[in-house]
Amino acid sequence: MMLKASIPVILLPLVLGACGATTQSASNTVEKPAVVSAPLVTPEKTISLAALPKKPEPLPKVLEKEAVPSIPLPSVGVLRGKSTAEIEAVFGKPVLLRKDKPAQVWQYLTSKCALHLVFYPEDDANGTLRVKYFSMNDRDVGQKADSKPCFKSQLNRVGVSQAKILG
């Protein structure tokens, strides 16, 4: 009787082991490396020039680096008195726009500096905001930046055609 009860206990690990078998095959097949053969070229064979590839086409002008045309750099003072619409037409949307009634502060960034424009409403009835103050800060040291290189970097960011709008 004891013998009949021990047989299932002995077979249980074998059955469970078979259930846990992986799906990998146990075959010992070794894959042979692929053999690539190249045609032999004999000295008698000649190549005509027509068979050679043509000279590649030049890159389209869009991909070529264009020389930046130089325009006279306007003074930074040209910003004073410009409306929000005029500034946005040149520089685009500001990176930061802070509204402190009645003023607005707009910020534009380049890798060299930050340009801050402070707008106040005009005295007329429509209340058009115009640049009253501006400042430029160096982005590396957090101090006031030299205005000419900073303003030039801002104009380079927007491009010559936009910079011409400033007049």
The structure's pTM equals 0.56
Distance (Å, whole) CA 74 – CA 99: 28
DSSP state of 141: T
Q: Rounded to an integer, what distance in angstroms lies between the CA atom of residue 19 and that of residue 10? A: 15
Q: Tell me: the pLDDT tens digits for 26-65?
A: 555 566 555 555 555 555 555 555 555 666 666 554 443 4
Domain boundaries, the chain: 78-166
Which CATH architecture group holds 78-166? 2-Layer Sandwich (3.30)
